[in-house]
Amino acid sequence: MMKPPFDHTIGSPMPLGVYLQQGGINFTLFSRNATRVFLLLFDNAEDSKPSQVVELDPNHYRTGDIWHVFVKGACLGQIYAFKVEGPHEPGQGHLFCPNAILLDPYASAVASPQPWNFIRCCDLEHATAEQSAAGMAKSLVIHNGFDWEDDRRLKRQWPELVIYETHVKGFTIHPSAAGSNPGTFLGFIEKISYLQELGVNAVELMPLQEFNPQELTAKNPFTKEPLVNYWGYNTVGFFAPHDGYGTRRYPGCQVDEFKTLVKALHKAGIEVLLDVVFNHTAEGNQTGPTLSFRGLDNSIYYLLEEDKKYYKNYSGCGNTLNCNHPVVRNFILDCLRYWVVEMHVDGFRFDLASILGRDRSGHLTPNPPLLEQIAEDPILREVKLIAEAWDAGGAYLVGRFPGERWSEWNGHYRDDIRRFWRGEQAMAGILANRLCGSADLYDHSGKAPVNSINFITCHDGFTLNDLVSFHHKHNLANAEENRDGCDYNFSSNYGVEGPTENEAINRIRLKQKKNMLATLFLSRGIPMLLGGDEFGRTQHGNNNAYCQDNEISWFDWGLLERNRELFQFVQGLIAFRKFNQVLSLERFYRKDEIVWFSSQGLPPRWEVESCLGCRIHAGTNGDGGLCLLFNPTTQCVDFALPSLPRDRVWLKAIDTNAPMGEDISPEGRGMSLSGYSNFQVMDHSLIVLTLGKRG
């Protein structure tokens, strides 16, 4: 029996999106250049025909650029979409299409059919309304009520942060995870105790705002399996958690389940940082699908070329959001506030963030209004802001990203630490800069070490295991003939490309992993660990696994036991950093706090040195602290140790050449070097000494 249609009235232009009120739902939508707008109400996500179409008469249902209607009797669980008519004038940037079924940009949940259907822009004019609606994702009305149990953002201070970057699905989807809800928000909760055991206190989650995994058309040339958008860097619904990370127990459950994850992480003392993508959308270039923004007001939401049929492409993904248009700016701010207020997240990492500093012509600006508004917004004032300070249009703003509140992924740190430990010449001075917080990059603009997010590896590139196992990328499974992914990895295979049974090669690979990880946790700035590096996760040489939703990308938890030595070493490094707070102070070292020396104990010749040592003074009388000895060469090197008062002695706390159980003492109570004036540091090794009392 067909249910009677809903009655409707004019409604209110605010707030944007949907608003549940007594007796019904208020719907609003922005479109400046539209001539007609239709609200489509569906009974099911898979339906090709709406159960009711409500036309919004512009004489009554439009206030300024906002179209609005109140639907009486509509309630939670209502599935809806929009159709928008207007000029189809590609040369003027207008791509309105009456057949396109459009998502609400403010929808807090998306009803995602399995699989998704989408029709590319060039085919829409030939499609019927039923063809474009069948299998198309639609918006879903949910409630925002949730029992947070007095949950609050943790507000950890920057210097204490240890970030763990990971993927929601990949973290638990492998059979070895042995969880009850693999690959979901709830499944992630089952691994929180592991994160606590490791010692991290923040997770940076790769994109979890709604995206279409089935958007790719290529197949793996070896397995013939379809490739998928695994990483999720093509956002469809900016307010909506990804439906695929929910259990699908009921429509919209992904929202409650994400909140449940956040609450559980907070209870465990772990902050939640979201990787967000505001530089482009999933609609691609002029041949891409029309999902939302293109069909709502293309000329406002995107940066267009002089020939407005085409998009400026600073993202490398086909289009670029017009981030500093006031309408788009407000949309981004509304979205960030939503994730903070409704979802309780602690901060954001902004993908290709330099795009957020481009003006409406695409030029970089010195004081971008959007970046300033995000930093100064009253709701966002205390959340953590992290920028990937570059884009595909040639901008590289590491050390120069506008605004003191913004921390940055320090790409220089990643490359320089790799190059130093690979044995490149004349890298000692660069190592010193990176270890001390990259003052050469940040001090000139009044920033501090905490503005530097230090990392050796991240999702984009080799894992740490692969960094020391492959000289070249091996991306053929991506169906791009190995053209994709970075060619400049500063990696080494130490004699054999890929896995080997050669014990000598495996030993040096393990040492190099320990060396780079130790350097990371000894450096001022904020350490970020790529999830799985602590137990040797491999992608088999693929350095761009964006399309690999399989064992290339998934966490194989069986590696944890097989590589227990590396895990315990990383666990010890995190504890050592927390115990020695001098390593994580918010400011740069003063000259009297750190003294650098060559292996002979002399002032370094920065332009030629390979081996390097330093003494870090932590005591009020200059007699406390640490001694760090770096040997990236293929030879053993004798280091002259800094002299000590008679009642003090050096204790060996970290030795990357030593076997499991002897390689790290988190509280610095290792072997005494009493009587030593020199100490031999083995090839490819790092030694850390702490100061103890003699006897």
Alpha helices in 342-438 (DSSP H): 369-376, 411-422, 428-435
Mean pLDDT computed over 220-240: 97
- Among the candidates 565, 583, 601, a domain finishes at 583
Band of residue 125 on the pLDDT scale cut at 50, 70, 90: low
660 and 673: one domain? yes
- Residue 99 covered by a domain: yes
pLDDT at 390 over 60: yes
579 and 646: one domain? no
In eight-state DSSP terms, residue 687 is E
- pLDDT tens sequence across 144-190: 889 999 999 999 999 999 999 999 999 999 999 999 999 999 999 99
Q: Reduce the DSSP state of residue 296 to 3 states and report it.
A: helix
pLDDT at 131 over 80: no
397 and 529: one domain? yes
- Mean per-residue pLDDT of the chain: 95
Whole-angstrom distance, CA of residue 222 vs CA of residue 220:
5
pLDDT at 122 over 60: no
Q: What is the pLDDT, as a whole number, of residue 408?
A: 98
Q: What is the pLDDT, as a whole number, of residue 669?
A: 79
Q: Reduce the DSSP state of residue 18 to 3 states and report it.
A: strand
- Residue 545 covered by a domain: no
- Among the candidates 140, 173, 192, a domain finishes at 140
Mean pLDDT computed over 390-402: 96
275 and 170: one domain? yes
Q: DSSP labels for 22-80? A: TTEEEEEEE-SS-SEEEEEEESSTT-SS-SEEEEE-TTTSEETTEEEEEEET--TT-EE
Chain centre to alpha carbon of residue 676: 46
326 and 377: one domain? yes
226 and 95: one domain? no
Residue 479: which residues within 8 A CB-CB, separation 6 or more? 218, 219, 220, 221, 227, 547
Mean pLDDT computed over 365-376: 96
Contact 309, 83 (CB under 8 A): no
In eight-state DSSP terms, residue 485 is S
pLDDT at 459 over 60: yes
Band of residue 622 on the pLDDT scale cut at 50, 70, 90: very low
Q: What is the pLDDT, as a whole number, of residue 247?
A: 97
- Residue 300 covered by a domain: yes
Q: What is the pLDDT, as a whole number, of residue 693?
A: 87
Structural domain of residue 628, as residue ranges?
A: 588-693
**Token code pair at residue 184:** 């979901």
Contact 454, 437 (CB under 8 A): no
- Lowest-confidence region among 112-116, 661-665, 668-672: 112-116
Alpha-carbon dihedral 650, 651, 655, 658, rounded to 10 degrees: 130
280 and 174: one domain? yes
- pLDDT tens sequence across 308-362: 999 999 999 999 999 999 999 999 999 999 999 999 999 999 999 999 999 999 9
Q: Reduce the DSSP state of residue 103 to 3 states and report it.
A: coil
- Among the candidates 84, 107, 140, a domain finishes at 140
Mean pLDDT computed over 291-298: 97
Handedness of CA 435, 440, 441, 444 (dihedral sign): positive
Angle between helix 326-341 and 293-301 (nearest 10): 120
> Cis before residue 58, ω within 30 degrees of 0?
no
- Residue 273 covered by a domain: yes
Residues with catalytic function = 351, 388
pLDDT at 220 over 80: yes
pLDDT at 572 over 60: yes
Band of residue 118 on the pLDDT scale cut at 50, 70, 90: low
pLDDT at 624 over 80: no
Residue 365: which residues within 8 A CB-CB, separation 6 or more? 324, 357, 358, 359
Order across the sheet with 110-111: list the strands. 52-56, 36-42, 79-85, 138-140, 110-111
Give CA separation, 175 vs 178, 249, 561, in Å. Answer: 6, 21, 15
- Residue 300, CA atoms < 13 Å, CB-side half-sphere: 18
- Residue 474 covered by a domain: no
Contact 340, 274 (CB under 8 A): no
- Residue 292, CA atoms < 13 Å, CB-side half-sphere: 25
Q: What is the pLDDT, as a whole number, of residue 31?
A: 98
pLDDT at 392 over 60: yes
pLDDT at 641 over 80: yes
282 and 331: one domain? yes
Whole-angstrom distance, CA of residue 365 vs CA of residue 323:
12
Whole-angstrom distance, CA of residue 526 vs CA of residue 548:
29
Task: Give the CATH number for residue 395.
Answer: 3.20.20.80
Mean pLDDT computed over 373-379: 97
pLDDT at 66 over 80: yes
- Residue 157 covered by a domain: no
Band of residue 136 on the pLDDT scale cut at 50, 70, 90: confident
Band of residue 129 on the pLDDT scale cut at 50, 70, 90: low
Mean pLDDT computed over 429-440: 98
647 and 514: one domain? no
Task: Give the CATH number for residue 109.
Answer: 2.60.40.10
90 and 57: one domain? yes
- Lowest-confidence region among 1-15, 329-343, 577-591, 629-643: 1-15
Of residues 624 and 48, the one with the higher pLDDT is: 48
- Lowest-confidence region among 133-137, 291-295, 360-364, 575-579: 133-137
568 and 614: one domain? no
pLDDT at 569 over 60: yes
Task: Give the CATH number for residue 618.
Answer: 2.60.40.1180
Residue type at position 391? D
- pLDDT tens sequence across 192-215: 999 999 999 999 999 999 999 999
Q: What is the pLDDT, as a whole number, of residue 464?
A: 99
175 and 85: one domain? no
- What's the domain count of the chain? 3
Q: Please provide the distance, in angstroms rounded to a whole number, between the alpha carbons at the two ends of the chain.
A: 90
**Token code pair at residue 141:** 């009305």
Alpha-carbon dihedral 336, 339, 345, 349, rounded to 10 degrees: -40
Q: What is the pLDDT, as a whole number, of residue 120?
A: 57
Alpha-carbon dihedral 587, 593, 596, 601, rounded to 10 degrees: -170
pLDDT at 621 over 80: no
Whole-angstrom distance, CA of residue 222 vs CA of residue 3:
51
**Token code pair at residue 424:** 């490149």
User: Length of the chain, please?
Assistant: 695
Whole-angstrom distance, CA of residue 167 vs CA of residue 206:
5
- pLDDT tens sequence across 489-515: 999 999 999 999 999 999 999 999 999
Q: What's the CA angle centered on 51, arms 48 and 54, to 5 degrees?
A: 110
- pLDDT tens sequence across 67-111: 999 999 999 999 999 999 999 999 999 999 999 999 999 999 999
- Residue 502 covered by a domain: no
E strand or H helix that includes residue 628? strand 626-631
- Residue 557 covered by a domain: yes
